[in-house]
Amino acid sequence: MPDIGRLDGAGVLVAIEPVSIADHRTDPEAGTVALPVGHDMRERLGAYRWDDRAGTFLPLDGEPSAPAPFTRSSLIDVLVRALPEVREDEVEDLTAAVSRAVDDFRRSRATTTQGA
């Protein structure tokens, strides 16, 4: 059976639980993260937090980390999350949100490309 990581209110990994294949998914509202086969997160309970923007666990080291740049997958994730919220009368709001996300993505790509 696959595992999920259970998060506390601050996004810190506090438990690992086996789940059915149907329940093996990341659900920010439920505070769960689908873990890959062969993960080693049992050894990291209480020491890592889920960074939703980066889409990964980051160590709790006492230092705030810089926000992760948008990646192609994080941009797609933003767009996919926005789609269920769309109603015909909200198309203008969605357009503005998508434009901001795309602009952020392009800026992060330009910074990454220039820094490489």
**64 pLDDT higher than 70:** no
More reliable by pLDDT, 7 or 90: 7
Give the type of residue at 4.
Answer: I
Q: Where residue 33 falls among pLDDT bands split at 50, 70, 90?
A: very high
The per-residue pLDDT for 35 is 93
42 has a pLDDT exceeding 70? yes
- Taking phi over 0 as left and psi of -120 to 50 as alpha, with beta for the rest, 12 belongs to beta
Q: Are 105 and 73 in contact (CB under 8 A)?
A: no
Question: CB–CB of 35/2 below 8 Å?
Answer: yes
Query: Percent of the chain having pLDDT more than 70?
Result: 62
* pTM of the predicted model as reported, rounded to 2 decimal places: 0.51
In this prediction, residues 35-51 reach a mean pLDDT of 89
| 3-class SS of residue 56 | strand
- Label residue 15 by pLDDT band (50, 70, 90): very high
Over range 2-31, report the average pLDDT: 92
102 Cβ neighbours under 8 A, 6+ residues apart:
75
Share of the chain above pLDDT 90, in %: 28
Distant-in-sequence, close-in-space partners of 115: CB < 8 Å, separation ≥ 6: none
- Cα–Cα distance for residue pair 98/116, rounded to 1 Å: 27
